[in-house]
Structure 1
Amino acid sequence: MTAFKPALILESVDEIPESAYIWHWKTEHHFPFHKHNKGQLTYVEGGAAFLYTRDKTYFLPARHYMWVPPGVEHYFQHRYPANYVRTIYFFTDEDDTSDPFYTRTGIYPVNNLLLEMILYTSKWDGNVLPGTKGYRFVKAIKNILPDISEQPLPITLPTTENTRLKPVLKFIQENLAESLTLESVGQEFNYSERTLIRLFRSTMDISFFQYLKLARMIRAMGYLLETDKTISEIAWDTGYNSVSAFSNTFYKLVGKRPSDFQ
């Protein structure tokens, strides 16, 4: 594998527009917000991560991949140890406009076929040029994505750069195990309940309680996949005093019971 610093990837990905660009990275890396002219598939092997865009947070659990369309500003962070981060940056072609899949950011399950194909790309590194066997293989991956990726992971968490609301969201994220209410969070920032309600609705088009519920479920998904915590411990650690209430909320949002998701 070619030795280069992660930051150089940002410069290298778009150097040859007609190529695919492949990299498999084993260590933790940190990118700022950035974008590419190529669509991006990223699979975190043996770990989980969060994908951040300018307006949403996506949880990327094990056995799922993220798709980021060309031109979308983003970065992602590991939250749990990973063996490899495997990324393919795809050339632009007529498929990108003919199928709406390629224009939507999303997190999708990885079936056995796609997993084997992603792992097979480890034999290439850097640019994969048209006319090569590698290019034809990568193009086959790109072509099957819309057919095998019909149901994105249903939970995304809105975010904002609003200077009044941003510290509130940080506080909520850091205290998800606590009994958070409009009153208690408002007191922390000297906001009235009415002000806090208006901030959430006007800034992110979501209620305080909707945000809190989504944040707790995303945290729970991470715990379920990447820790040995029991479901009752996870319920407690995400602010639920009742396992049944936690399980019912999880089912309504994710479409699976916590035990099935785990």
Structure 2
Amino acid sequence: MPKALVDVDAVPASAFCLTDELTPFASGWHAHRRHQLLYAARGALHLEVAHAQWLLPPQRAAWLAGGTRHRVRAAQPATLCTVYLEPSRVPVAPEGECRVFVLPPLAREMLHYSTRWGPERAPRDAVAESFFSALAHLLAEWAAEPREWRLPRARTPELERAMTYTLARLAGSATLAGAAKAAGLSERTLARRFEDEAGTSWRRFLHDARMLRAMELLAEDGARVTQTAYTVGFESLAAFTHAFTDFTGERPRDFRQRVARGVTLPPRAARTTRRKRGG
């Protein structure tokens, strides 16, 4: 990630866009004084903060408040498009240290357009200043309906080992007994630790991890729904389609086609889809 060597807090301009073509990579834990709007124009990014982790395919972005420790990785090539803003440039910041949300079409177009102003831009460029002011004013509105498509992070070594075991076996071989053995705990103790420490059950963690992995796979060029279903541990396409639709609000084939076309699904449309299904 060569352009990540830029000291974003030392750039003279108060707002700018940083772009990069990423090969598979993993950053270390870090934080910026500036606010950040993290986005992948192509591919998918994995974002982690202290207690949660998210997948960011092209239809979603993440707001990271200044000072938030985080790390990012990409399992496949991705195009980074991230905007940094001085806190003074954001009149009403989204609540919380991190919010992941669906990008409306206007937001996507504005992020693409922002790439013309990189870290080297003139600090007093009047057009750039006006553009980033408009972007900053719209952030709170865009992030007002965050999506809980995330996984919890472990806070203890035992749960981290159990999660690592589970995430490495999404194709179907993961079991509670195996996760407990990896953690060095009994099954009952592990189940209780998941509830107490991660706020979820082990089975729900496995299910959500499979759905997020499916979303990542379906965002890749040439993705096939049937192969994706088997790769994330489902024995039938029908069962996978039902689970994916319940999780995301749209069928996997529709999701794949939409991501390939670069079309976003507004949050209200997703909720309407779920209501029609009775969810």
TM-score range, shorter chain: 0.7 to 0.9
Counterparts of 2:130 and 2:26, CA distance in 1: 31
Task: Report the 3-state secondary structure (helix = DSSP H, G, I; strand = E; otherwise coil) of the residue aligned with 1:165.
Answer: helix
Counterparts of 1:257 and 1:13, CA distance in 2: 39
The answer for the alignment partner of 1:6 in structure 2 is: 3
Counterparts of 2:240 and 2:194, CA distance in 1: 23
The answer for the alignment partner of 2:102 in structure 1 is: 109
The answer for the alignment partner of 1:74 in structure 2 is: 70
User: Where do 4+ consecutive residues of structure 1 move more than 6 Å?
Assistant: none
Shift of 1:209: 0.9
The answer for the alignment partner of 1:90 in structure 2 is: 85
Please tell me whether residue 208 in structure 1 is matched to residue 231 in structure 2.
no
Shift of 1:106: 2.4
Counterparts of 2:240 and 2:147, CA distance in 1: 19
Contact kept in structure 1, 2:159 and 2:183, CA below 8 Å: no
State the number of aligned residues. 254
The answer for the alignment partner of 2:154 in structure 1 is: 160
TM-score (norm 2): 0.80
Task: Report the 3-state secondary structure (helix = DSSP H, G, I; strand = E; otherwise coil) of the residue aligned with 1:244.
Answer: helix
Contact kept in structure 1, 2:99 and 2:143, CA below 8 Å: no
Contact kept in structure 2, 1:21 and 1:90, CA below 8 Å: yes
Which range moved further: 30-39 or 118-127? 118-127
Aligned letter for 1:154?
Answer: E
Please tell me whether residue 60 in structure 1 is matched to residue 56 in structure 2.
yes
Task: Report the 3-state secondary structure (helix = DSSP H, G, I; strand = E; otherwise coil) of the residue aligned with 1:23.
Answer: strand
Shift of 1:155: 0.9
Counterparts of 2:217 and 2:183, CA distance in 1: 29
Shift of 1:45: 1.8
Gap runs ≥5 in structure 1: none
The answer for the alignment partner of 2:189 in structure 1 is: 195
Counterparts of 1:135 and 1:238, CA distance in 2: 45
The answer for the alignment partner of 1:224 in structure 2 is: 218
The answer for the alignment partner of 1:25 in structure 2 is: 20
Shift of 1:7: 4.8
Counterparts of 2:18 and 2:197, CA distance in 1: 37
Contact kept in structure 2, 1:19 and 1:127, CA below 8 Å: no
Contact kept in structure 1, 2:59 and 2:103, CA below 8 Å: yes
CA distance change for structure 1 residues 176 and 143 in 2, over 3 Å: closer, same or farther? same
Counterparts of 2:224 and 2:9, CA distance in 1: 45
Task: Report the 3-state secondary structure (helix = DSSP H, G, I; strand = E; otherwise coil) of the residue aligned with 1:34.
Answer: coil
TM-score (norm 1): 0.85
Please tell me whether residue 36 in structure 1 is matched to residue 32 in structure 2.
yes
1:142-153 correspondence runs (5 A): 142-153=136-147
Shift of 1:188: 4.7
Contact kept in structure 1, 2:22 and 2:77, CA below 8 Å: no
Please tell me whether residue 46 in structure 1 is matched to residue 42 in structure 2.
yes
Which range moved further: 28-37 or 65-74? 28-37
Task: Report the 3-state secondary structure (helix = DSSP H, G, I; strand = E; otherwise coil) of the residue aligned with 1:222.
Answer: helix
Counterparts of 1:60 and 1:77, CA distance in 2: 10
Counterparts of 2:217 and 2:52, CA distance in 1: 20
Counterparts of 1:17 and 1:125, CA distance in 2: 11
After superposition, the C-alpha distances for 1:212-238 in whole angstroms (9 at most, x for unaligned) are 111111111111111534323222211
**RMSD, matched Cα:** 2.6
Contact kept in structure 1, 2:218 and 2:228, CA below 8 Å: yes
Between the aligned residues of both structures, percent identity stands at 27
The answer for the alignment partner of 2:272 in structure 1 is: none
Counterparts of 1:235 and 1:111, CA distance in 2: 28
Which range moved further: 85-94 or 227-236? 227-236
CA distance change for structure 1 residues 244 and 95 in 2, over 3 Å: closer, same or farther? same
The answer for the alignment partner of 2:267 in structure 1 is: none
Aligned letter for 1:92?
Answer: P
After superposition, the C-alpha distances for 1:166-218 in whole angstroms (9 at most, x for unaligned) are 12211111111124332233345553211211221232121111111111111
